[in-house]
Amino acid sequence: MRTEITHKGKTYTADLSQPLDISLPLQANDSNPIAWYIDKPVIEPVKADGWVGKVSEGSTTNFNNIFFNPHGHGTHTECLGHITKNFYSVNKALKQFFFLAEVISVQPEVQGEDLVITKVQIGGQLNGKTPEALVIRTLPNTEEKKHKNYSHTNPPYLAEEAAVYIREIGIVHLLIDLPSVDKEKDEGKLLAHKAFWNVKDVDNLNEEARHNATITELIYVDDAIKDGGYLLNLQIASFENDASPSKPLLYKLL
């Protein structure tokens, strides 16, 4: 099944029968990626008055509770409500779900004790392209990313000027295979988040803030997915929250 998408006057065709999943599944075990100093997710059957919601224990249905944190337990999409005093929901922010996307691979630069993705690197990889969505795969692209506990590891992050550049060229949806676009321990500055969403005051949101822009973190882009243009389907669960677990899918352009 094929579909067409038009971006800046040019029409692209994609085959919807061949999705490339760049999300990480939620698992209640040590294989689940973790960030922000929390424990692994919990998925367990409801227990009430001697009844257990599990077919293997005599129930007619499997009936599980799930306890997780979208920011720390896997692929998630967030809106500017992640950093503002007032509540804003990603379920309200994301109203369209198909976008022209560009996948790029970047080796973060060593800056002191940090690994940083710079404006020069992103500009060089995009080479003048201005897609609606940008998918950043960091190098080296190890399998460990699927299961890593990122807490206290100082992962790579996005330089503030790089986030400004991404915003200024019109990219609305930013996807990255890291737990955050910002440094793990940055004294709450959140420079890349603020720059991308154009948030100048988290207490009194400025008119220029980008309510429709999203950041998706903790993706995984397999090496088989080559750099270049794709159709992105960005789907979230319908949580009224600043962030939601999400399932971004890429489709090759024909």
What CATH number has the domain bearing residue 163? 3.50.30.50
Structural domain includes residue 151: yes
Structural domain includes residue 56: no
Asked whether the CA dihedral 214, 141, 223, 162 is positive or negative, the reply is: positive
Structural domain includes residue 62: no
pLDDT tens, 47-65?
Answer: 999 999 999 999 999 999 9
Q: Give the range of the structural domain holding residue 8, as residue numbers without chain letter.
A: 2-32+70-252
Tokens representing 22 are: 């760049």
pLDDT tens, 188-240?
Answer: 999 999 999 999 999 999 999 999 999 999 999 999 999 999 999 999 999 99
Structural domain includes residue 42: no
d(CA 151, CA 92): 30
d(CA 160, CA 163): 5
Structural domain includes residue 114: yes
pTM for the whole structure = 0.97
Structural domain includes residue 213: yes
**What pLDDT does 1 receive?**
84
Give the chain's domain count. 1
Structural domain includes residue 227: yes
